[in-house]
Amino acid sequence: MSIQITGAGSSLPLRGADTSAVSTAKSGFADIMKSTIQQVNQAQNTGEQAIEKLNTGNADSLHEVMLAVEEADISLKMLVQMRNKALTAYEEVMRMQI
């Protein structure tokens, strides 16, 4: 799609919105990362709330508190590993010669 603007003797072609596969993948990756970070944050909050309930004596069982805390810990470790892999991939791309 090309839009022509006529003016002072020459026309200027304008490109439409970028709908290429790379652009789509970029936004998809960003959405996945945003969603993952939100899920990890929610797991961290749930773990903190479980610990608070345990401290105040409102927890149903120690088992449930430990599960919430471990889920938060594992999800945070997974996010850190995802970040490490993305950083490694970025560094590898930057080392490529054109």
pLDDT tens per residue, range 33-81: 899 999 999 999 999 999 999 999 998 899 999 999 999 999 999 999 9
* Residue 1 clears pLDDT 60, i.e. is over it: no
Taking the model in full, what pTM does it have? 0.66
pLDDT tens per residue, range 4-30: 445 555 555 656 666 666 666 667 878
Which residues, including other chains, have CB under 8 Å from residue 43's CB and lie 6 or more apart?
Answer: 68, 71, 72, 75, 76
